[in-house]
Chains A and B, each alone.
Chain A
Amino acid sequence: MTSTLKNAMYRAVMLCVLSASLLMVTAPAGRAQSGSDPQFRVKIDFNRWHDYDELKSDLLRLEEAFPRFLKYSSVGQSYGGRDMMLMTINNPETGPEMGKAAMYIEANIHGNEIQGGEVCLYTVWYLMENYGRIDEVTKLVDERVFYIFPSVNPDGRDYFMDGTGSGSRTGHVPVDQDNDGLFDEDGPNDLNGNGTIEQIRKYVPGEGTHRISHDDYRILERVPAGETGDWVMLGSEGLDDDGDGRVNEDAIGGYDPNRNWGTGWQPNYIQGGAMDYPFQLPESRAVNDFLLSHPNVAGVQSYHNSGGMILRGPGAEWHGEYPAADVRAYDQLGQQGARMLPYYRYIVLWDSLYTVHGGFIDWTNDGIGALSFSNELWNRGQYFNSPDLKRQQQDPDSPIASPRDRYFFDDHLEFGDQYVEWQEFEHPQYGTVEVGGWKKTFGRVPPRFMNEELAHRNMAFTLYQANEMPLMTMAQPSVERMEGGVFRVRVELTNGKITPTILEQAAQNKVVRPDLLTLAGNVEVISAGVVQNKFIPGPSEMIDQKDLTRIMFRNGTPGNTTRVVEYLLRGSGNVTIIYSSVKGGTVEQRFSLR
């Protein structure tokens, strides 16, 4: 007898779910199986970039195709009036949403860092198309909840996708960057009308700072000191829109949405782009309201680009390293991620990238108590991704040595799609100039044909993290009758996953409700203790709490740990013992005192 009634019910439900889904997959109507490969129900392109409308309509198509698990909603409106899109994945037949640990996945907080949106879309699609076909996927969807936000900066996304692509890291709340009392009045201008902002250069024979490389006519290189070139660079494509004598000095927005969160927040002069106070922006506020009302969120992934990193906090050195127990969990997950994601490094934000005050994953770790990563998607090392090509790149004469490598790649693998040849333009302030250079889709996002692999590998890491969110189990308690009507009862409480039910940092911050071990029945507790080592006899470590029918575990159950609690009890009849954890689920067993 190792299973409680609740566990038994859970299994019964699971069987039904499994057979139901098998039926659906094998049902003949409209589901012709072609060869040995599955037919997918919803066709989505993962080799192109989706703007806000396209993302939303794909989410809605998925919701329509998989109504049992998917629920589309909006948690608020962006400054520009777009939905803060949320797709919830939950199997209601395996228990209520709030009773299961949830993985929160978001992307695109920086408007120009778009491909995370496709990773999110891919994740929804992959989990749904493979539910009932791949056991591991089925188990994940049944055991966990997923909250997926494909773009938490939809204004920035559309500005990048549908606009000219420059300066779209920010959101669209107006900021007067040049202190002239006007807001966002002089941004870049698409002078050549090709939908992207390139660079301006001017031909000034013998008087310039740059020259054209002998290696490739497209490469402009800075001339060494003491020499002169034929070109000067005049910044981004644009005009003096407000007639103040300066070009492009007050573009749209002008802040960093990823510095507007509640942990370690610092004002603008310490942390540029922080705005005036945390959660001032409608987008960060909407997301935070969601998080504060979903304490079941136990894991967070925030997709950014680029550089190939699996980042964790803290964002600033003066925060101090996370408690050792938390670091252990982060390291286990992060190091595994580095094995799953070639060219990605697992690093600490402040130590190996830069200092961030008021960043999102600092808030979700410290203020929400969810183990949080941020993947910087895409590493340019992936252009030439074999050891032999890497060796060739070391040879300065190789056609794929830097800086020729990117032109080589564009010429031969993208057929010149990413480069705009320089063209003359009569500029009202600068006279005759040339406009050209790389397109907005070059550099920070992968070549389109490589995006599906990027999406899949990053999803796989995030699903690995989701699987390693806390999950409590409780063995059948052992009951030993002692003299004088006293019973010695031992119960084993196990969290078989890497993530603790409560992060140590969260326990210190008092942001997660303690785990509770409660007894119900005709029972009086004489004492309770934690067994030091169940194989070596000896006294247990006394639990020094007043009410022992409701024991608090303020820092929860650590990862991959079994804790044995021993009670000395008086009483009779059936007793129910319940371990309740906000992020690790609720489990219970029954035993009899006789």
Chain B
Amino acid sequence: MHQRMTKRRLALKRLPARVGRLALAAGMLLLLPGFQGSDSQYHSYDDLTAALTRAVRAHSDIARMESLGETIEGRDVWMVEIANRGGTPVEQRPALLIVANLEGNHLVGSELALRTVEYLLDNYDSDPDVKERVDNHAFYVFPRLNPDAAELMWDDIKTGRRTNPKPYDGDNDGRTDEDGPEDLNGDGFITQMRVADPAGQYMIDPDEARLMRKADAAKGESGAYEVYWEGVDNDGDDFYNEDPLGGVDMNRNFQHEYPYYDADAGYHMVSEVESRALMDFVVSHRNIALVLTFGESDNLVTSPASGGALAPAAPIALLSFADESNAGADQVGMFRVPQIRGFGGFGFFMRQAQAASSGGRRPPARRPATTVNSADIDYYSTIGEQYREITGVEQVATTRAPKGAFFEYAYFQFGVPSFSTPGWGLPAAAAPGGGEAGGDPPMRTQLTRTRTAGAGQGPQGARRTGGGGGDVQTDSKVLKWMDEQSVAGFVAWEEFQHPTLGTVEIGGFTPYATANPPVSELTELGESHARFAVYLTSLFADVRIADVQVTNHGGGVFEIKADIENVGFLPTSTSQGVTSRSVAPTMVQLGIDPANLLTGAAKTSFFSRLNGSGTRESYTWVIQGRQGASVELKVRSQKGGSDSATITLR
């Protein structure tokens, strides 16, 4: 312990003072039941940097690390590349990209990424599978994309904030970050407050008095409580903690179904140093053929349904209720706009007759895909099954809807198979389902609000509908698990005299506890996820020139026939990669002067997609040539490597 603190202090010299202050709270971690461990722990930024540096230095022949950006608080956005640089240039090999800790509170993602790095490096010499992958493929690992937010886990008072510290006027009231939470009961956690209120819409759950649920008037229930985040109304606007510090949640800042104008989504897509560092890397590394992210959305534990949709999100309802208490804060001060005639004004944004002259109707614009392409679903199912098999994770604790999440971009726009998993789960015994479905499908309730397509893809309709979702079943499932495993993730409600709300109760779920597993599970989860990463890299498409025949027709006329084969598991492109035109078609090129091509395939030909497991594509060229001359045949696949053959004309 003492040694660790010393090291941290030394490293802090290059960081701004306020960051240093955060790190001093690191010792607090050991006070958290459930986050203790003698041989294992969550890594602060400095610890993570040190661990990565140590691992990379010890294996500098096959690993390097690079900072691709510097955050607001001066931390590096690390990228670790693991590849034996001998042989095929790394940039031309199919690669697996791993990205973790995009959401600031999802520290377990960093642990899995770090342990994957260590596993690959430590086992390179001893495990032939690992050696084969590192020699022929590449791993790019971003272990912590949101390091400023992640560091809050070591703060004196834990908020569990997901966003980086970019100042942002969340409720647009002209004051920035002016009303964050306070730890009123001094327990070191920002939890929730429930307040008896005849106008409130919530009631104590009759099955579990620690939990709250929405009163259902149709069942004769009436609400008696309001739920807030713990804190006071700093700016005197009657809302509690509606504009905390920050910022941008990196898993809300990417281009697919971007949640326009949500308070945690940034000013625009890819607006942050962190997200831009990742995007610039990705678009300049088109050899990335698979993406694995650790985050709070899931498509591995529960694979996409047959229609291509992901399972509905299963957030913690109690936290959603607290969010919802601030739903109206960004509408205060909306005045009715006087209308000259007709209907309209605030609340009525009708289409009206065009005063601008109209050139007539246009065909409706094409819409982007929002579900996994049917031709890609089976690959998702197969890989999901393997994930559950290898990691044993069969039931997630909670998940969020992936609006603007990176892994969604990587599939829908970058066009590669792309996965997200929380990286841990509740014991399978607690799952009534299991098997193919991978746990009980969370039920939709009236709280699980899904935005209309317009809100995701277009900026219109971005008006907040009031809080997120929440399934009380998720709350009770998680609480039951905490009770059974002695995870201290729920603070018992206790009375508190609030300065403006009067007698309240403070309690509820603690930050981090519902998003991260106990420390004792990290070693095993780390190893199994590393093995899953190794499994993923066995799946890449692999194009070969399988068979070449030359026929001499005499008179300097030669016929060349060649089969191109994909001996890998994955196709050379997903169907979405073809649809989105983001995966380059595979090029087959015969190295001759185009003037000597008589008939058959073009000198440069392309195919958009070739299935794996030995599927072939045939080409024939009839050319004019000189007996004994050699011709180069090249095949180059963006995601499936390349091959070449020298053909002698005889």
Q: Which A residues are within 8 Å of any B CB, using their own CB? A: 176, 179-181, 240, 243-246, 262-270, 276-280, 288, 292, 312, 316-321, 323-325, 327-328, 330-331, 334-335, 345-348, 350-355, 357, 363, 366-367, 504, 507-511, 513-514, 516, 530, 544-547, 551-555, 558, 561
Contact = CB atoms under 8 A, between A and B. Distances in A.
A30 B169 CA distance: 54
A384 B311 CA distance: 63
Contacts of B355: 327, 331, 334-335
Contacts of A263: 260, 459
Nearest to B337: A325
Contacts of A245: 594, 597, 602-604
B255 interface: yes
B337 A552 contact: no
Interface in B223-280: 236-238, 255, 260-261, 267-271, 279
Contacts of A325: 337, 344-345
Contacts of B283: 276-277, 280
Nearest to A318: B458
- Label chain B's interface by main secondary structure: loop
A267 B580 contact: yes
A267 B459 contact: no
Given A317-B365, A509-B260, A265 B174 contact: no
B579 A547 contact: no
Given A245-B602, A347-B356, A367-B267, A270 B172 contact: no
Interface string B352-376: 1011111111101111100000000
A176 to B, nearest CB: 8
B465 interface: no
A267 B582 contact: yes
B593 A554 contact: no
Contact of A319 (B270, B331, B459, B580): B459
Contact of A346 (B169, B356, B361): B356
Contacts of A367: 267-268, 459
17 contacts: A181-B587, A244-B603, A244-B604, A245-B603, A267-B255, A280-B270, A317-B365, A320-B454, A324-B349, A325-B344, A325-B345, A347-B359, A363-B268, A508-B462, A513-B174, A514-B172, A561-B338
Contact of A181 (B361, B603, B636): B636
B629 interface: no
B584 interface: yes
Nearest to A249: B604
Nearest to A310: B356
Nearest to A354: B362
Given A262-B268, A325-B337, A267 B413 contact: yes
Contact of B458 (A319, A346, A516): A319
Contacts of A547: 236-237
B446 interface: no
Given A262-B268, A292-B267, A355-B362, A330 B356 contact: yes
A348 B172 CA distance: 29
Contacts of A553: 333, 335
Contact of B332 (A269, A511, A554): A554
Contacts of A324: 337, 339, 342, 344-345, 348-350, 352
B535 interface: no
Chain B interface residue bracket vs A: 35 or more
A552 B173 contact: yes
Interface in B164-223: 169, 171-174
Nearest to B349: A323
A179 B364 CA distance: 29
Nearest to B342: A324
B49 interface: no
B255 A277 contact: yes
Contacts of A331: 355-356
Given A508-B463, A545-B332, A347 B358 contact: yes
Nearest to A362: B459
Interface of B: 169, 171-174, 236-238, 255, 260-261, 267-271, 279, 283, 330-335, 337-340, 342, 344-346, 348-352, 354-362, 364-368, 412-413, 454, 457-463, 579-582, 584-585, 587, 589, 593-594, 597, 602-604, 606, 636
Contacts of B337: 323-325, 504, 555, 558
A319 B460 contact: yes
B587 A352 contact: no
A320 B461 contact: yes
Contacts of A266: 368, 457
Nearest to B333: A552
Contacts of B334: 507, 554-555
A554 B604 contact: no
Contact of B354 (A348, A354, A363, A507): A348
Contacts of A321: 349, 351-352
A268 B580 contact: yes
Contacts of B459: 263-264, 319, 366-367, 509
Contacts of A276: 279, 283, 413
Contacts of B238: 546
Pick from B172, B367, B460 the residue with the most CB of A within 10 Å: B460
A351 B358 contact: yes
Given A324-B345, A367-B459, 17 more contacts: A269-B368, A288-B268, A312-B356, A318-B454, A320-B458, A320-B460, A324-B349, A327-B352, A331-B356, A351-B354, A355-B362, A514-B174, A545-B237, A545-B332, A547-B236, A552-B333, A554-B333
Contacts of B463: 508
A126 B198 CA distance: 67
Name which of B269, B331, B339 has the most chain A CB atoms within 10 A of its CB: B269
B330 A269 contact: no
B60 to A, nearest CB: 30
B365 A316 contact: yes
A243 B357 contact: no
Of listed B332, B333, B457, residue having the most chain A CB within 10 A: B333
A394 B332 CA distance: 59
Contact of A277 (B269, B359, B367, B584): B269
B594 A244 contact: yes
Contact of A347 (B357, B368, B582, B593): B357
A278 B339 contact: no
B241 to A, nearest CB: 15
A516 B173 CA distance: 9
A552 B236 contact: no
B539 to A, nearest CB: 23
A335 B355 CA distance: 9
Nearest to B355: A331
A245 B602 CA distance: 8
B587 A179 contact: yes
A325 B349 CA distance: 9
A551 B173 CA distance: 10
A42 B392 CA distance: 78
A410 B345 CA distance: 53
Contacts of A312: 356
A510 B172 contact: yes
Contacts of A514: 172-174, 333
Pick from A353, A510, A554 the residue with the most CB of B within 10 Å: A510
A355 B279 CA distance: 26
B587 A180 contact: yes
B587 to A, nearest CB: 6
A278 B270 CA distance: 7
A511 B261 contact: yes
A319 B581 CA distance: 24
A244 B356 CA distance: 49
A513 B176 CA distance: 10
A183 to B, nearest CB: 12
Contacts of B330: 510
A263 B458 CA distance: 7
B335 A530 contact: yes
Interface pairs A-B: 9 shortest CB-CB: A552-B333, A352-B359, A262-B268, A245-B594, A554-B333, A510-B172, A331-B355, A324-B344, A355-B365
Q: Choose among A354, A363, A504 the residue with the greatest number of B CB atoms under 10 Å from its CB.
A: A504
